[in-house]
Amino acid sequence: MADARAVKSSNARIWLAGGWLLVALLAAIFAPLLAPQDPLAQDLLYERLPPFWMQGAEPGFWLGTDSLGRDLLSRIIYGGRVAFLVAFAAAIAACLVGSALGLAAGYFGGWTDRVVSRIVDIWMAFPPVLFAILLVAVLGTGLSSVIIAIAVIDWTRFCRVVRAEAMSQARMDYVESARIAGFGRFDIMLREVLPNVLPAIVALLSLEMGIAVIVEAILSFVNLSISTDDPTWGGIIAEGRLSIHQAWWVLVFPLITLFLTVLSFSQFGEGLKARFDPVLR
C-alpha cells in the first residue's frame, strides 16, 4: 500500500511538473508564433498598462506593459528562450564533467578519490554566486559566458553525489559477482554501477537545471547576462522592481514564472528518481 502511494505521488509530480515545463518550453520554442506583440517594441502611449482584467487595460496586452510600453507577456515568453537554453546547456555540461569524475572517484577509490575530493573541497570553498559573477565579469557578458560560469561552478555538486552513490554501489554483492565472472573494472563501472547511479544523476540534473535558471536570472538582474536588449526573466524583474508601486504586474508575473519553472524542475527530478530507482522498484 505504501509503495502504491509512493508511485502515485511520483507520477503526479512527474505529470504536473512535466506539464508546466513542457508548456513553458513549447512557448519559448514557438515564441515568434505565440507572442502577441514584439517584445522589443516601445510605445510610451501604452506605458504601464494593467493586465486584461483591470480597468484601463488595452486589447492585445494580456499581462499589461512595462514603463516603456513593451508587452509583458511577450517579454516573458521570449525570456523563456534564454532560461531554457542556459538550463539545458549548463546543467548537461556540469553533469558530464562532475558525474564522470565522481563515478571514477567513488568506484576506484585510492589516489583517484583523494585527488578528486581535494579538488572538490578547494572548488567549493568559493561562494558560488560571487564566483559566477567573477567568471562572467572576466569572460565578458553573453550566453556562452553564463553557461561556462554555471558549468564550471556546479560540476562539484554532481561529483559529490555521484561519488557517494558509486562508493555505496561498489560494495554491493552484484559488483563482486561481476568481478568473479571475469568482467574488467571499467566494464563493471559502466555496465553495473552506472545504471544504478543514473536515477540520482537524473534527479540532480533536473534540480541543476532549476539552479541554472536561478543563476541566470541573478546575473540578468545585475546586468551580467546577455549584452543585448533581448528580454530575460531576471532583467524583467529588475525593471519591475523600479516601478513596483506604479506597475506591480511587471515584477509579479515574471517572478511567478521563475518560481514555477524552478519548482517544476525540482519536482520533476524527484518524481523521476522515485519512479525509476531500482531499489524503490
Residue 56 backbone zone (phi > 0: left; psi -120 to 50: alpha; other: beta)? left
Residues of the chain with pLDDT under 50: 1
Give pLDDT, residue 175. 79
pLDDT for 19: 93
Structural domains of the chain, ranges and CATH numbers in brackets: 2-276 (1.10.3720.10)
State the Cα–Cα distance between residues 159 and 166, nearest whole angstrom: 10
Position 244 scores a pLDDT of 87
**Grid coordinates given for 61:** 496586452
The reported pLDDT for the residue numbered 98 is 94
Per-residue pLDDT tens digits for 13-44: 889 999 999 999 999 999 999 999 999 989 88
The three three-digit cell numbers of residue 2, written as one number: 505504501
What's residue 277's pLDDT? 60
Q: What does the pLDDT read at residue 173? A: 79
- CA 148, 152, 153, 157 torsion: positive or negative? positive
Q: Which long-range contacts (CB under 8 A, 24 or more apart) does 132-138 make?
A: 132/215, 132/218, 132/219, 133/219, 133/222, 133/224, 136/219, 136/224, 136/225, 137/224
Q: 104 with 85: CB under 8 angstroms?
A: no
182: left (phi over 0), alpha (psi -120 to 50) or beta: left
* Predicted local confidence at residue 5, as pLDDT: 60
Q: List 71's β-bridge partners, or say none.
A: 65
pTM for the model stands at: 0.88
